Amino acid sequence: MAEQVFYWQALNRALDAEMAVDDSVVVLGEDVGLYGGSYRVTEGLHAKYGEWRLRDMPISEGSFTGLGVGAAMVGLRPVVEIMTINFALLALDAIINMAAKIPFMSGGQFSMPLVVRMPGGVAKQLAAQHSQRLEQTLMNVPGLRIAVPATPQDAYWQLRQAINSDEPIVLLEHELLYFSKGELDESRQAPPMHRAQVCRQGGDLTIVTYSRMCDLALQAATQLAETGIEAEVIDLRSLRPIDWDSCVVSLEKTHRLLIVEEDSGFSGAGAEIAAGLAERCFLIMDAPPRRVAGRELPIAYNAALEAASIPRVTDVVSAAQQLCNP
C-alpha cells in the first residue's frame, strides 16, 4: 500500500527489511548505532538488531570502508555509511583499489557484496569542502556500480537491490533529498536496478538527468509546456551502468538532448551521457547535445553565490528553449 514517506525513512525501511531476513547484513559507519545516523537512516535499528549488526566506527573512513571490503570477502553483506561523499575521498583506496578490483584480481574467487552509501550534492551553505558531488570520480572505475535514487520509492528499491547484489555498489544519495517526501509502496515490484525511468512524456526534447536535478527538470518541463515545448524527462537512476536504451528510445522521438547535472560539467557525468548518446544517436540528432551543469567552481559559502553555482529552473528552461528554437 502506498504511503507518503521521507527519503530517509524509505532507506531505513529498506535496511530494516534486509536485516530482518538476512543476518549477514551489517551496517558500518559513524554514528550509525545509538544515534541513528546523521540523517536518521539507521534510526531504531540499533535497538532492534544490536551493536554487533550496527557498528559505530571511528572517524576514519579509509579504515572502516576497508573493514567493509574485508567483511564482504569473508561472507557478510556490509552496508557502509559514509557521512558525506566529501569524506569518501579518504576511502577511495578501499573503494577503488580494493572493492572494485578484488573480484577481478582474484579471478572471481571473491565476490564483493558491499554497499557504500553516501550523500553528495550542494545542500545549504556547507561551503566548498562539504558541497561536492564527485560522481565523476567514481564513474570512471570499472567494476563499481553507482545508483542515484531520486525518490523514496527508488531509494527503497535500489538499496534493497544493492544489498542483494554480489557486486560492489555505491548508493549516491543527496543531502537535500533526505527530507523530501514521496510515495512508497513496499509491495510494488521493483524495476531492474539500473533501468532509467521516464518521469514525464514529451515530444520536443529529452532531458536526461538524475538525483535531485530530476525535480528541477520536472519543474522546468512544466514551465516549458506553457511556452509550447513538451519535454520528456528521464531519470537515469544509475550512473554505472547507464541505461542507454531508454535514452535512445526517447531521442528517436525528440531528436534533441539536454543533460542536467548538479556536478561541474567538465569531464563529468553529463560529458559521458553526451558522448554515449552522440555515438548512438548522431544520425538522428537535430541539434548538438547540450549540458546544463554546475559551474567550474568550488562552491561558495555565500547563499546567493551557492545558488548561482548550480543549475536553476530558469537555466534549464532557457537552455531547452534555445535547443528547440535555435
Partner 1 sequence: MREPILMPSLSDTMETGHLIDWLKQPGDAVKKGEAIAEVETDKAVMDVEAFYDGYLAGPLAAADTDIPVGVVIGYIVDSLGAEKATEKQEKQEKQKVDKAPLAKAADVGIKAPPPAVQTSTEAPAQAAKAPASAKPMATDMTSSKHIPASPYARGLARELGIDLARLTAGPDGSIRSVQVVSAALGRVEPNLSDGPDYELHPLTPMQKAIANNMMAAATTPTFRVSARFPLAPLIALAHEEGYSLTLLLARACALTVEAHPRFNAVLTPQGLAQRQQVDVGIAVDVPNGLVTPVLRDVARRPVEELAGNWNTLKERATGKQHSQRLTPQDYRGATFYLSNLGMFSSVVHFDAVVPAGAVAILAVAAIQDGLVEFTLSCDHRVVYGADAARFMETLALLLGDPTGLDAAPTSGAA
Q: Which residues bind partner 1 (CB under 8 A)?
A: 225-228, 255, 282-287, 325-326
Q: Tell me the C-alpha distance between 202 and 210, whole Å.
A: 17
Beta carbon of residue 250, minimum distance to partner 1 (angstroms, whole number): 14
Beta carbon of residue 231, minimum distance to partner 1 (angstroms, whole number): 14
Nearer to partner 1, 283 or 304 (CB): 283
| Residue in 271, 281, 274, 277 with CA at minimum distance from that of residue 140 | 271
Beta carbon of residue 230, minimum distance to partner 1 (angstroms, whole number): 9
Nearer to partner 1, 226 or 296 (CB): 226
* Strand ranges, E, within the chain: 3-6, 25-29, 54-56, 77-81, 115-120, 145-147, 169-174, 181-184, 197-200, 205-209, 231-235, 238-240, 257-264, 290-294
User: Are the C-beta atoms of 4 and 183 separated by less than 8 Å?
Assistant: yes
| Residue in 112, 116, 126, 123 with CA at minimum distance from that of residue 74 | 112
Q: Tell me the C-alpha distance between 194 and 238, whole Å.
A: 5
Nearer to partner 1, 52 or 282 (CB): 282
**How many Å from the N-terminal Cα to the C-terminal Cα in the chain?**
46
- Of the residues 43, 130, 186, 255, only one is catalytic, namely 130
Strands 257-264, 77-81: pairing is unpaired
Nearer to partner 1, 129 or 325 (CB): 325
- Of the residues 18, 30, 61, 135, only one is catalytic, namely 61
Beta carbon of residue 197, minimum distance to partner 1 (angstroms, whole number): 25
Name residue 126's beta-bridge partners: none
Q: Is 278 helix (H, G, I), strand (E, B) or coil?
A: helix
Task: Identify residue 264 by its one-letter amino acid code.
Answer: S
Residue 130 annotated among the catalytic residues of the structure? yes
Q: Tell me the C-alpha distance between 19 and 28, whole Å.
A: 13
Nearer to partner 1, 110 or 244 (CB): 244
Active site residues: 61, 130
